[in-house]
Amino acid sequence: MLKVVGVVFALVGIAAGVFLLAGAFGLTPNAPGLSARVLFPACVFGGLVLAALGSRTAALPMLLKGAGAALLLLAAAAAVALLLGTTGYAEAKNGTASLWYLLVVSALAGAAWMLAPERPEGRR
């Protein structure tokens, strides 16, 4: 049960990240605010911790790599969105602050999680 709840929280966090990405270009009914900026890392990180606590030790590296890949995809999308806004192909109607935030947080966390060891310490 803990694993399922953790995955749901992580998905809510990823959805908040997608909202930050789409909201910068006015594709959402509301502009991203403080709640989306807090929900994104809190739900992703908190959800991953809950999922890790509820899973077997052997499943943890796969869980970390999956979450890391999703975050790196969000970071890449934010970087492309910043490039499109800078070159004039797209207009960031709500500013680029949420894109920069998404890029930095997603890239750092995603890279750290992708670099997780294949095996937990002490296991063969």
Angle at alpha carbon of residue 4, lines to 35 and 38, rounded to 5°:
10
Each residue of 102-121: pLDDT tens digit?
999 999 999 988 887 776 56
pLDDT of the residue at 101: 93
Q: What are the DSSP calls for 55-73, one per residue?
A: S-GGGHHHHHHHHHHHHHH
Q: What is the pTM of this model?
A: 0.82
Encoded tokens for 70: 């999703």
DSSP secondary structure code for residue 1 in this structure: -
Name the residue ranges covered by the structural domains of the chain: 2-114
Mean pLDDT across the stretch 11-39?
90
CA-to-CA distance for 9 and 47, rounded, in angstroms?
A: 5
Each residue of 32-86: pLDDT tens digit?
889 989 999 999 999 988 888 887 776 777 888 888 899 999 999 999 999 998 8
Confidence class of residue 9 from pLDDT cuts 50, 70 and 90? very high
Contact in structure between 48 and 8 (CB atoms under 8 Å): no
